[in-house]
Amino acid sequence: MIAWLALTGAIILELSGTLSLRMAATGRRIWMVGVLVGYVGAFSMLGVTLAHGMPLGVAYGIWSAVGVALTAVLSRLLFAEPLTPTMALGIALIAAGVLAIEVGS
């Protein structure tokens, strides 16, 4: 259970860092603090996830897939960036790949 909570934290922190990076690129540089905190925190929480026994392939697969999907959706909502049907298909394929890794483990 702790591994899953830590993985959730890693995903949220990575997402925060990535969205902060977008803000830093288009706005004030103070957002770089969010980038640093987000990414350092995300990798720290990923380490906690691994320390509690979740296999690396599963943890990294879920972390990256959920991060990509949520980043694409939130970028559409927050920054009016495109989210085309082809991109949605790509997200679905990523999710299917992570599911295959999870089932295979």
Contact between 6 and 42 (Cβ < 8 Å): no
**Residue 87 has what pLDDT?**
92
Which residue, among 13, 18, 6, has the nearest Cα to 73 in the 3D structure?
18
Which domain covers residue 38, as residue numbers? 2-104
**Residue 104 has what pLDDT?**
79
Between 97 and 59, the more confident residue is: 59
Indicate the number of domains in the chain. 1
Q: Tokens 């957002």: give the residue.
A: 31
**Residue 31 has what pLDDT?**
96
DSSP state, residue 27: S
How many CB atoms within 10 Å of residue 98?
20
pTM of the predicted protein model: 0.89
CA distance 88 to 93: 9
